[in-house]
Amino acid sequence: MFDGLKVLDVHAHVSAPMGGVGQFSMFLQATNGVLPSPIGQPAAAAQFGLGEVDFARSVANHLAYIDERRIDVQVLGPRPFLMQGWMQEHLLPAWTRFVNDCIAAQCAMHPDRFIGACQLPQNGHAPDASHMLDELRRCRSEFDFAGVYVSPDPEGRRNGPGLNERWWDPLYEVCEQEQLPIVIHGTNCVDPRFRHVPHNYQLGFVVEQSLATQILSPGDVFDRFPGLKVIVCHCGGALDRFIPTDPHLAQKDLSNNLFFDTCAHDVHFLECAFKQRGVARMVFGTEAPGSGRAPRPEGPGITGDDLVPVIESFEFLTAQDKADVFHHNPAKLFPRLAQLG
């Protein structure tokens, strides 16, 4: 909580048991055959280490983690580095269905703490984005998911259609009509130059989220879909090096369409992001539990993703600014969050 308001976190990932997730992924690719999701099928789930007890234990650890960080409700999406968009095209729908079933299962365990955002079976070689809509409709009708995750480069080969291309219009149209924010998050990166870098998918995140910000800003997506809301994770991937009036930057008001979450664990980077993006476009996000577990120098037991006290400490933000970032801005973007808040 913050000042009597629930802290609403727009950036979180499903905590299905990792061993079971890995087993299902391996089996799916090893058989090279479309398999039904084991979630909701007790015998099959137990076979993959995804039984009720396993799942409940993993989710309980997730809840304890965010309780320690004063987070009340999270928008729960896929784990981006496990999107595995380089899978063979015929396997992607089955993998995506499984991931979304896992998200739905966790949300159903604690509907007052989690709302879902779906993974999509992104195939950049399809004629357009309409092939993703069946899974989106399933997640809406069966689970009432409240958002959509999109990877700008699902194969990790820099060969996907740019986010300003009309290829995306079928998805943009549905998301605008149904008030579904799109969460832009990088996924895998198979660039061989990065192979020696630890956790090299993080480089893919930075590049693709930065490119997404730069592609969407000067483009015409928001002219064509003025009600569309897009959140770029990790403060937009990278910051601008130009002053606001520089022609290298889009000289447009995107305050109703393009937003950024606060999932940057370095205090100085996060402070600069607030000052560049503006409070009205910043929404609270932590990725907790995720890659922010490294200890802060401030003291034992404090991790990088413990961002409520960090943002509280920013003296350049007013109390109203902080209330907006922690609560009001996320609630505006996600009507379901407003209902739980």
Domain layout of the chain by residue ranges: 8-16+54-340
Query: How many Cα atoms are found within 13 Å in the side-chain-facing hemisphere of 54?
Result: 16
* pLDDT reported for residue 338: 87
* pLDDT reported for residue 205: 86
The long-range contacts involving 308-316, CB below 8 angstroms and separated by at least 24 positions, are 308/2, 308/7, 308/69, 308/70, 308/71, 310/267, 310/270, 311/262, 311/270, 311/284, 312/2, 314/271, 314/274, 316/271, 316/274, 316/275
Mean pLDDT, each 10-residue run in order, the chain (341 residues): 96 95 93 93 91 94 98 97 88 96 97 98 95 98 98 88 96 98 92 88 88 95 98 95 92 96 96 97 97 86 94 98 98 92 72
Per-residue burial over 191-215, b if 16 or more Cβ lie within 10 Å, else e, is eeebeeeeebbbebbebbbbbbbbe
Q: Are 92 and 85 in contact (CB under 8 A)?
A: yes
- Residue 289: asked if its preceding bond is cis (omega within 30°), the reply is yes
| E strands, 182-338, in order | 182-184, 230-232, 258-261, 282-283
Q: How far apart are CA 11 and CA 201, in angstroms?
A: 17
* pLDDT reported for residue 190: 85
Q: In 3-state terms, what secondary structure has residue 240?
A: coil
* pLDDT reported for residue 200: 84
- Residue 148, judged by CB atoms within 10 A of its CB (0-12, 13-18, 19+), counts as buried
* pLDDT reported for residue 218: 94
CATH fold label, 8-16+54-340: TIM Barrel (3.20.20)
CA 332 to chain centroid, in Å, comes to 17
